[in-house]
Chain A
Amino acid sequence: MSMQAIKAVASESDRAFALNQALEEKALVPNGYVEKFTHVMEEDFDPTNGARVVARAWVDPEYRALLLKDGTAACDVFGYTGAQGEYIVALENTPTLQNVIVCTLCSCTAWPVLGLPPDWYKSFEYRSRVVRESRSVLREMGLDLPESVEIRVWDTSAETRYMVLPFRPEGTEKWSEEQLAAIVTKDVLIGIARPEIGVTNPAHSS
Protein backbone atom coordinates (compact mmCIF):
# COMPACT_ATOMS: atom_id res chain seq x y z
CA MET A 1 0.00 0.00 0.00
CA SER A 2 1.25 3.46 -0.81
CA MET A 3 1.24 6.12 1.89
CA GLN A 4 -1.21 8.10 -0.23
CA ALA A 5 -3.95 5.57 0.33
CA ILE A 6 -3.96 6.12 4.07
CA LYS A 7 -3.12 9.82 4.31
CA ALA A 8 -6.12 12.02 5.07
CA VAL A 9 -6.96 14.59 2.39
CA ALA A 10 -5.78 18.07 3.39
CA SER A 11 -8.41 20.82 3.66
CA GLU A 12 -9.46 22.91 0.64
CA SER A 13 -7.73 25.93 2.10
CA ASP A 14 -4.46 24.07 2.90
CA ARG A 15 -4.32 22.57 -0.59
CA ALA A 16 -5.00 25.89 -2.34
CA PHE A 17 -2.26 27.69 -0.37
CA ALA A 18 0.09 24.70 -0.92
CA LEU A 19 -0.37 25.06 -4.68
CA ASN A 20 0.43 28.76 -4.51
CA GLN A 21 3.48 28.12 -2.31
CA ALA A 22 4.80 25.30 -4.55
CA LEU A 23 4.64 27.66 -7.55
CA GLU A 24 6.24 30.50 -5.58
CA GLU A 25 9.12 28.20 -4.58
CA LYS A 26 9.80 27.70 -8.30
CA ALA A 27 9.64 31.49 -8.82
CA LEU A 28 6.69 31.06 -11.22
CA VAL A 29 4.39 33.65 -9.59
CA PRO A 30 5.24 37.27 -10.51
CA ASN A 31 5.02 39.72 -7.64
CA GLY A 32 1.44 40.78 -6.98
CA TYR A 33 -0.02 38.57 -9.74
CA VAL A 34 -2.67 36.89 -7.58
CA GLU A 35 -3.59 40.14 -5.81
CA LYS A 36 -4.01 41.96 -9.14
CA PHE A 37 -6.14 39.25 -10.74
CA THR A 38 -8.24 38.91 -7.59
CA HIS A 39 -8.91 42.65 -7.73
CA VAL A 40 -10.07 42.35 -11.37
CA MET A 41 -12.43 39.50 -10.44
CA GLU A 42 -13.81 41.31 -7.39
CA GLU A 43 -14.04 44.88 -8.68
CA ASP A 44 -13.89 45.09 -12.48
CA PHE A 45 -16.13 42.14 -13.42
CA ASP A 46 -19.51 43.32 -12.15
CA PRO A 47 -23.16 42.95 -13.18
CA THR A 48 -23.61 46.74 -13.04
CA ASN A 49 -21.56 46.69 -16.27
CA GLY A 50 -24.18 44.59 -18.05
CA ALA A 51 -26.91 46.76 -16.52
CA ARG A 52 -25.32 49.85 -18.05
CA VAL A 53 -25.26 48.13 -21.48
CA VAL A 54 -28.97 47.25 -21.18
CA ALA A 55 -29.96 50.74 -20.05
CA ARG A 56 -28.11 52.29 -23.01
CA ALA A 57 -29.82 49.84 -25.40
CA TRP A 58 -33.21 50.81 -23.96
CA VAL A 59 -32.71 54.54 -24.60
CA ASP A 60 -30.58 54.50 -27.78
CA PRO A 61 -31.99 52.57 -30.78
CA GLU A 62 -28.69 52.72 -32.67
CA TYR A 63 -26.81 51.23 -29.74
CA ARG A 64 -29.51 48.59 -29.35
CA ALA A 65 -29.09 47.60 -33.00
CA LEU A 66 -25.32 47.34 -32.51
CA LEU A 67 -25.76 45.24 -29.35
CA LEU A 68 -27.99 42.75 -31.18
CA LYS A 69 -25.77 42.63 -34.27
CA ASP A 70 -22.36 42.60 -32.58
CA GLY A 71 -22.55 42.23 -28.81
CA THR A 72 -18.78 42.26 -28.41
CA ALA A 73 -18.44 45.65 -30.15
CA ALA A 74 -21.32 47.09 -28.10
CA CYS A 75 -19.86 45.92 -24.79
CA ASP A 76 -16.44 47.17 -25.87
CA VAL A 77 -17.89 50.71 -26.16
CA PHE A 78 -17.79 50.67 -22.33
CA GLY A 79 -14.62 48.51 -22.13
CA TYR A 80 -16.57 45.50 -20.83
CA THR A 81 -14.65 42.79 -22.71
CA GLY A 82 -11.76 40.60 -21.59
CA ALA A 83 -11.22 37.17 -20.03
CA GLN A 84 -14.35 35.05 -20.59
CA GLY A 85 -15.95 37.92 -22.51
CA GLU A 86 -14.31 37.96 -25.92
CA TYR A 87 -17.30 36.98 -28.10
CA ILE A 88 -20.49 38.32 -26.58
CA VAL A 89 -24.01 37.69 -27.88
CA ALA A 90 -27.01 39.55 -26.44
CA LEU A 91 -30.27 37.58 -26.29
CA GLU A 92 -33.33 39.74 -26.85
CA ASN A 93 -36.36 39.02 -24.68
CA THR A 94 -39.84 39.91 -25.87
CA PRO A 95 -43.12 39.78 -23.95
CA THR A 96 -43.49 36.22 -25.35
CA LEU A 97 -39.87 34.99 -25.12
CA GLN A 98 -37.67 34.56 -22.05
CA ASN A 99 -34.01 33.69 -22.61
CA VAL A 100 -32.13 31.90 -19.83
CA ILE A 101 -28.37 31.20 -19.63
CA VAL A 102 -26.63 28.14 -18.17
CA CYS A 103 -23.38 26.19 -18.55
CA THR A 104 -24.28 22.52 -17.99
CA LEU A 105 -20.67 21.30 -18.36
CA CYS A 106 -18.99 23.72 -15.90
CA SER A 107 -19.79 27.40 -15.22
CA CYS A 108 -19.03 29.50 -18.35
CA THR A 109 -20.31 33.08 -17.93
CA ALA A 110 -19.59 36.47 -19.54
CA TRP A 111 -17.37 37.59 -16.64
CA PRO A 112 -16.71 41.22 -17.65
CA VAL A 113 -20.43 41.91 -18.24
CA LEU A 114 -22.21 39.74 -15.62
CA GLY A 115 -19.50 39.29 -12.98
CA LEU A 116 -18.26 35.89 -11.85
CA PRO A 117 -21.10 33.35 -11.68
CA PRO A 118 -22.93 33.01 -8.35
CA ASP A 119 -22.88 29.72 -6.38
CA TRP A 120 -26.40 28.68 -7.43
CA TYR A 121 -25.52 29.04 -11.15
CA LYS A 122 -22.61 26.62 -10.64
CA SER A 123 -24.71 24.18 -8.60
CA PHE A 124 -25.41 20.64 -9.83
CA GLU A 125 -29.13 21.37 -9.39
CA TYR A 126 -29.17 24.30 -11.86
CA ARG A 127 -26.76 22.67 -14.33
CA SER A 128 -28.72 19.42 -14.52
CA ARG A 129 -32.28 20.71 -14.39
CA VAL A 130 -32.64 24.06 -16.16
CA VAL A 131 -32.16 22.62 -19.68
CA ARG A 132 -34.80 19.95 -19.12
CA GLU A 133 -37.25 21.50 -16.66
CA SER A 134 -36.78 25.21 -17.33
CA ARG A 135 -40.32 26.32 -16.55
CA SER A 136 -40.41 24.39 -13.26
CA VAL A 137 -36.96 25.61 -12.21
CA LEU A 138 -37.81 29.25 -12.97
CA ARG A 139 -41.11 28.91 -11.07
CA GLU A 140 -39.29 27.48 -8.04
CA MET A 141 -36.92 30.45 -8.14
CA GLY A 142 -39.84 32.88 -8.22
CA LEU A 143 -40.32 33.56 -11.96
CA ASP A 144 -43.72 32.07 -12.78
CA LEU A 145 -44.19 32.65 -16.51
CA PRO A 146 -47.51 32.15 -18.30
CA GLU A 147 -47.67 29.31 -20.87
CA SER A 148 -47.80 31.94 -23.62
CA VAL A 149 -44.16 32.83 -22.91
CA GLU A 150 -41.64 30.58 -24.67
CA ILE A 151 -38.57 29.73 -22.64
CA ARG A 152 -35.27 29.39 -24.54
CA VAL A 153 -32.29 28.07 -22.58
CA TRP A 154 -28.77 28.82 -23.86
CA ASP A 155 -26.13 26.26 -22.87
CA THR A 156 -22.73 28.00 -22.89
CA SER A 157 -20.84 25.07 -24.39
CA ALA A 158 -18.20 26.84 -26.54
CA GLU A 159 -16.68 30.35 -26.62
CA THR A 160 -19.82 32.49 -27.04
CA ARG A 161 -20.65 34.33 -23.83
CA TYR A 162 -24.24 35.47 -23.47
CA MET A 163 -26.14 38.28 -21.76
CA VAL A 164 -29.91 38.69 -21.70
CA LEU A 165 -31.37 41.93 -23.06
CA PRO A 166 -34.67 42.16 -21.15
CA PHE A 167 -37.57 44.24 -22.38
CA ARG A 168 -38.15 47.59 -20.76
CA PRO A 169 -40.96 47.52 -18.20
CA GLU A 170 -43.91 49.88 -18.55
CA GLY A 171 -43.83 52.90 -16.28
CA THR A 172 -40.16 53.69 -16.91
CA GLU A 173 -40.72 56.02 -19.90
CA LYS A 174 -39.22 59.11 -18.26
CA TRP A 175 -36.39 57.39 -16.41
CA SER A 176 -32.72 58.27 -16.78
CA GLU A 177 -30.17 55.65 -17.91
CA GLU A 178 -28.92 55.45 -14.34
CA GLN A 179 -32.41 54.76 -12.97
CA LEU A 180 -32.97 52.13 -15.64
CA ALA A 181 -29.66 50.39 -14.98
CA ALA A 182 -30.56 50.01 -11.29
CA ILE A 183 -33.45 47.60 -12.03
CA VAL A 184 -31.30 45.37 -14.29
CA THR A 185 -30.03 42.93 -11.68
CA LYS A 186 -27.48 40.13 -12.03
CA ASP A 187 -30.36 37.62 -12.14
CA VAL A 188 -32.06 39.65 -14.92
CA LEU A 189 -28.87 39.44 -17.00
CA ILE A 190 -28.70 35.64 -16.48
CA GLY A 191 -32.38 35.38 -17.39
CA ILE A 192 -33.97 33.93 -14.24
CA ALA A 193 -35.69 37.24 -13.44
CA ARG A 194 -37.43 40.04 -15.36
CA PRO A 195 -36.85 43.70 -14.48
CA GLU A 196 -39.36 45.06 -11.99
CA ILE A 197 -39.81 48.61 -10.79
CA GLY A 198 -38.39 48.86 -7.28
CA VAL A 199 -36.31 45.65 -7.48
CA THR A 200 -32.55 46.19 -7.53
CA ASN A 201 -29.47 44.09 -6.75
CA PRO A 202 -29.63 43.15 -3.04
CA ALA A 203 -27.05 45.08 -1.02
CA HIS A 204 -24.33 43.25 0.87
CA SER A 205 -25.06 43.26 4.58
CA SER A 206 -21.72 43.43 6.36
Chain B
Amino acid sequence: MDGIHDLGGVQGFGRVRHRKNSDTYTPVFHAPWEPLGYSLLFLGAAELQLFTIDELRHAIERMVPQQYLSSSYYDRIVVGVASLFVEKGAITQARLEELAGGAFPLALPTGPGLPAEPEKEPLNVGDAVRVHNAFFSGHTRMPGYVRGKRGVVVHRTTDKWPFPEAAGHGLSCEPKSTYHVQFDTKELWGEAADEATVVVDLWGGYLDKV
Protein backbone atom coordinates (compact mmCIF):
# COMPACT_ATOMS: atom_id res chain seq x y z
CA MET B 1 0.00 0.00 0.00
CA ASP B 2 1.59 3.23 -1.19
CA GLY B 3 0.37 5.23 1.80
CA ILE B 4 1.61 8.26 3.68
CA HIS B 5 3.08 5.96 6.38
CA ASP B 6 5.82 4.85 3.93
CA LEU B 7 8.08 7.69 4.97
CA GLY B 8 11.61 6.40 4.28
CA GLY B 9 13.35 8.92 2.01
CA VAL B 10 10.45 11.42 1.90
CA GLN B 11 11.87 14.95 1.80
CA GLY B 12 10.74 18.16 3.44
CA PHE B 13 10.74 17.23 7.13
CA GLY B 14 12.80 19.35 9.49
CA ARG B 15 15.24 18.43 12.23
CA VAL B 16 14.65 15.51 14.57
CA ARG B 17 13.73 17.19 17.83
CA HIS B 18 16.30 15.40 19.96
CA ARG B 19 19.94 15.71 20.97
CA LYS B 20 21.80 12.52 21.87
CA ASN B 21 21.48 11.50 25.52
CA SER B 22 19.47 14.61 26.35
CA ASP B 23 16.10 13.11 27.33
CA THR B 24 15.20 10.82 30.16
CA TYR B 25 13.29 7.75 28.99
CA THR B 26 10.98 7.85 32.01
CA PRO B 27 8.11 8.27 32.52
CA VAL B 28 7.40 5.94 29.59
CA PHE B 29 3.86 7.34 29.17
CA HIS B 30 2.99 11.02 29.39
CA ALA B 31 -0.80 10.80 29.85
CA PRO B 32 -3.05 8.23 31.58
CA TRP B 33 -4.69 7.16 28.28
CA GLU B 34 -1.41 6.45 26.46
CA PRO B 35 -0.85 2.84 27.68
CA LEU B 36 -4.35 1.84 26.49
CA GLY B 37 -3.47 1.46 22.79
CA TYR B 38 -0.73 -1.15 23.21
CA SER B 39 -2.53 -2.86 26.12
CA LEU B 40 -5.76 -3.31 24.15
CA LEU B 41 -3.73 -4.31 21.08
CA PHE B 42 -2.21 -7.22 23.01
CA LEU B 43 -5.64 -8.00 24.48
CA GLY B 44 -7.07 -8.33 20.96
CA ALA B 45 -4.05 -10.07 19.42
CA ALA B 46 -2.54 -12.33 22.11
CA GLU B 47 -5.42 -12.83 24.56
CA LEU B 48 -8.58 -12.87 22.38
CA GLN B 49 -6.77 -13.75 19.09
CA LEU B 50 -9.24 -11.60 17.16
CA PHE B 51 -6.53 -10.09 14.96
CA THR B 52 -2.76 -10.05 14.40
CA ILE B 53 -0.12 -7.37 14.97
CA ASP B 54 0.24 -7.27 11.15
CA GLU B 55 -3.45 -6.35 10.90
CA LEU B 56 -2.89 -3.56 13.45
CA ARG B 57 -0.01 -2.14 11.38
CA HIS B 58 -2.25 -2.24 8.32
CA ALA B 59 -5.20 -0.68 10.14
CA ILE B 60 -3.00 2.30 11.05
CA GLU B 61 -1.84 2.55 7.42
CA ARG B 62 -5.53 2.63 6.40
CA MET B 63 -6.20 5.87 8.31
CA VAL B 64 -6.81 8.72 5.87
CA PRO B 65 -3.56 10.66 5.36
CA GLN B 66 -4.78 13.88 6.99
CA GLN B 67 -5.75 11.96 10.13
CA TYR B 68 -2.51 9.94 10.09
CA LEU B 69 -0.32 13.02 9.85
CA SER B 70 -2.16 15.05 12.47
CA SER B 71 -2.53 12.33 15.14
CA SER B 72 -0.05 11.60 17.89
CA TYR B 73 1.70 8.21 17.77
CA TYR B 74 -0.35 6.60 20.57
CA ASP B 75 -3.59 8.01 19.13
CA ARG B 76 -2.85 6.16 15.87
CA ILE B 77 -2.52 2.93 17.89
CA VAL B 78 -5.90 3.61 19.56
CA VAL B 79 -7.58 4.32 16.19
CA GLY B 80 -6.03 1.19 14.63
CA VAL B 81 -7.07 -1.07 17.51
CA ALA B 82 -10.59 0.45 17.63
CA SER B 83 -10.97 -0.05 13.86
CA LEU B 84 -10.09 -3.74 14.17
CA PHE B 85 -12.44 -4.40 17.12
CA VAL B 86 -15.25 -2.75 15.10
CA GLU B 87 -14.38 -4.61 11.86
CA LYS B 88 -14.29 -7.94 13.74
CA GLY B 89 -17.76 -7.21 15.12
CA ALA B 90 -16.79 -7.03 18.81
CA ILE B 91 -18.04 -3.45 19.30
CA THR B 92 -19.69 -0.74 17.18
CA GLN B 93 -18.48 2.66 16.06
CA ALA B 94 -21.82 4.15 17.22
CA ARG B 95 -21.16 2.97 20.79
CA LEU B 96 -17.59 4.29 20.66
CA GLU B 97 -18.91 7.71 19.63
CA GLU B 98 -21.57 7.69 22.37
CA LEU B 99 -18.96 6.87 25.00
CA ALA B 100 -16.41 9.35 23.62
CA GLY B 101 -18.98 12.14 23.33
CA GLY B 102 -17.95 13.02 19.77
CA ALA B 103 -16.82 11.62 16.44
CA PHE B 104 -14.43 8.63 16.47
CA PRO B 105 -13.09 8.34 12.89
CA LEU B 106 -11.79 4.88 12.02
CA ALA B 107 -9.55 3.41 9.30
CA LEU B 108 -10.86 2.88 5.76
CA PRO B 109 -10.64 -0.42 3.83
CA THR B 110 -8.12 -0.85 0.96
CA GLY B 111 -7.33 -3.78 -1.38
CA PRO B 112 -7.62 -7.46 -0.41
CA GLY B 113 -4.71 -9.53 0.91
CA LEU B 114 -2.68 -12.23 -0.86
CA PRO B 115 -3.38 -15.85 0.14
CA ALA B 116 0.32 -16.90 0.09
CA GLU B 117 3.87 -15.77 -0.51
CA PRO B 118 5.05 -16.56 -4.06
CA GLU B 119 7.29 -19.66 -4.13
CA LYS B 120 10.97 -18.75 -4.53
CA GLU B 121 14.25 -20.57 -4.23
CA PRO B 122 15.92 -19.88 -0.87
CA LEU B 123 18.63 -17.22 -0.99
CA ASN B 124 22.06 -17.34 0.62
CA VAL B 125 24.25 -14.78 2.31
CA GLY B 126 26.27 -13.00 -0.39
CA ASP B 127 23.60 -13.35 -3.10
CA ALA B 128 22.97 -10.25 -5.19
CA VAL B 129 19.23 -9.59 -5.41
CA ARG B 130 16.81 -7.17 -6.99
CA VAL B 131 13.61 -6.15 -5.23
CA HIS B 132 10.49 -6.79 -7.31
CA ASN B 133 9.22 -3.84 -9.28
CA ALA B 134 5.75 -4.75 -8.05
CA PHE B 135 2.82 -2.79 -6.65
CA PHE B 136 0.28 -4.04 -4.11
CA SER B 137 -2.77 -2.25 -2.76
CA GLY B 138 -2.91 -4.03 0.62
CA HIS B 139 -0.42 -4.42 3.48
CA THR B 140 3.25 -4.90 2.67
CA ARG B 141 6.52 -4.63 4.58
CA MET B 142 8.51 -3.60 1.54
CA PRO B 143 9.29 0.11 1.95
CA GLY B 144 8.74 1.92 -1.36
CA TYR B 145 12.32 3.20 -1.49
CA VAL B 146 13.74 -0.29 -2.23
CA ARG B 147 11.27 -1.16 -5.02
CA GLY B 148 13.22 -2.31 -8.11
CA LYS B 149 16.59 -1.71 -6.35
CA ARG B 150 19.65 -3.96 -6.17
CA GLY B 151 21.20 -5.14 -2.91
CA VAL B 152 23.15 -7.98 -1.30
CA VAL B 153 21.88 -10.55 1.24
CA VAL B 154 23.80 -10.24 4.52
CA HIS B 155 21.67 -12.54 6.73
CA ARG B 156 18.94 -15.16 6.43
CA THR B 157 16.84 -15.50 9.57
CA THR B 158 16.66 -18.84 11.34
CA ASP B 159 13.06 -18.16 12.43
CA LYS B 160 10.13 -17.94 9.99
CA TRP B 161 7.02 -15.77 9.84
CA PRO B 162 3.91 -15.51 7.64
CA PHE B 163 3.94 -13.15 4.65
CA PRO B 164 2.59 -9.73 5.75
CA GLU B 165 0.52 -9.47 2.55
CA ALA B 166 -1.51 -12.38 3.98
CA ALA B 167 -1.13 -11.89 7.75
CA GLY B 168 -1.98 -8.18 7.49
CA HIS B 169 -5.38 -9.17 6.15
CA GLY B 170 -6.11 -11.95 8.64
CA LEU B 171 -5.14 -14.72 6.17
CA SER B 172 -2.90 -17.56 7.28
CA CYS B 173 0.00 -18.76 5.15
CA GLU B 174 3.20 -20.78 5.44
CA PRO B 175 5.90 -18.98 7.46
CA LYS B 176 9.19 -18.18 5.70
CA SER B 177 12.60 -16.76 6.56
CA THR B 178 13.34 -13.12 5.89
CA TYR B 179 16.56 -11.69 4.47
CA HIS B 180 18.61 -8.72 5.61
CA VAL B 181 19.43 -7.02 2.31
CA GLN B 182 22.08 -4.30 2.21
CA PHE B 183 21.72 -1.40 -0.24
CA ASP B 184 23.98 1.50 -1.06
CA THR B 185 22.25 4.89 -0.70
CA LYS B 186 23.60 5.71 -4.21
CA GLU B 187 21.49 2.83 -5.55
CA LEU B 188 18.44 4.12 -3.65
CA TRP B 189 18.63 7.89 -4.22
CA GLY B 190 21.61 8.58 -6.48
CA GLU B 191 23.63 11.60 -5.42
CA ALA B 192 20.70 13.11 -3.50
CA ALA B 193 21.57 11.26 -0.28
CA ASP B 194 24.37 10.99 2.27
CA GLU B 195 26.82 8.21 1.43
CA ALA B 196 25.90 5.19 3.58
CA THR B 197 24.42 1.71 3.49
CA VAL B 198 20.86 0.76 4.46
CA VAL B 199 19.82 -2.76 5.45
CA VAL B 200 16.16 -3.71 4.98
CA ASP B 201 14.59 -6.92 6.38
CA LEU B 202 12.65 -8.42 3.44
CA TRP B 203 10.60 -11.54 2.76
CA GLY B 204 11.91 -13.67 -0.15
CA GLY B 205 8.64 -13.03 -1.99
CA TYR B 206 9.89 -9.51 -2.73
CA LEU B 207 13.29 -10.61 -4.08
CA ASP B 208 14.79 -12.02 -7.29
CA LYS B 209 18.34 -13.35 -7.49
CA VAL B 210 20.38 -11.47 -10.07
Contacts and interface: CB of A to CB of B under 8 A. Distances in A.
A and B together in one complex: yes
Interface of A: 4, 7-23, 25-26, 28-30, 33-34, 37-38, 41-42, 46-47, 83, 86-87, 89, 104-107, 115-116, 118-120, 122-137, 140-143, 150-160, 185-187, 192-193, 199, 201-205
A72 B149 CA distance: 30
B137 interface: no
Interface residues of B, number: 91
Interface string B138-180: 0001110100000000010101010010000000000000101
Contact of B40 (A13, A19, A41, A115): A19
18 contacts: A8-B102, A22-B99, A34-B36, A41-B39, A46-B25, A104-B7, A104-B145, A105-B141, A120-B16, A120-B18, A132-B192, A134-B185, A134-B194, A141-B18, A153-B196, A158-B161, A160-B180, A186-B25
A129 B189 CA distance: 12
Interface in B13-36: 13-29, 31-36
A202 B96 contact: no
Interface of B: 5-11, 13-29, 31-40, 42-43, 46-48, 57, 60, 69, 71-75, 78-79, 81-82, 85, 90-91, 95-97, 99-105, 141-143, 145, 155, 157, 159, 161, 164, 178, 180, 182, 185, 188-189, 192-203
Nearest to A200: B21
A159 B26 contact: no
B16 A129 contact: yes
Given A42-B28, A120-B18, A141-B16, A10 B42 contact: no
Contact of A202 (B22, B33, B39, B142): B22
A122 B27 CA distance: 16
B104 A10 contact: yes
B36 A16 contact: yes
B35 A38 contact: yes
Contacts of B85: 19, 22-23
Contact of B42 (A83, A115, A129): A83
Given A23-B90, A142-B20, A143-B20, A201 B25 contact: yes
A120 B14 CA distance: 12
B178 A132 contact: no
Given A28-B48, A28-B90, A157 B202 contact: yes
A122 B20 contact: no
Contacts of A120: 16-18, 23
Contacts of A18: 96-97, 99-101, 104
Given A107-B73, A160-B201, A204 B26 contact: yes
Given A19-B78, A124-B69, A193 B193 contact: no
A107 B16 CA distance: 15
A158 to B, nearest CB: 4
A34 B47 CA distance: 12
A41 B26 CA distance: 11
Given A104-B6, A124-B69, A125-B13, A15 B82 contact: yes
B21 A187 contact: yes
User: A-B pairs with the 10 shortest C-beta distances?
Assistant: A10-B102, A104-B8, A120-B18, A18-B99, A10-B100, A16-B33, A18-B100, A158-B201, A193-B20, A38-B35
B102 A28 contact: no
B100 A201 contact: no
Contact of A7 (B5, B24, B37, B97): B97
B21 A125 contact: no
A152 B5 contact: no
A42 B25 contact: no
Contact of A141 (B19, B28, B36, B43): B19
Nearest to A114: B25
A122 B73 contact: yes
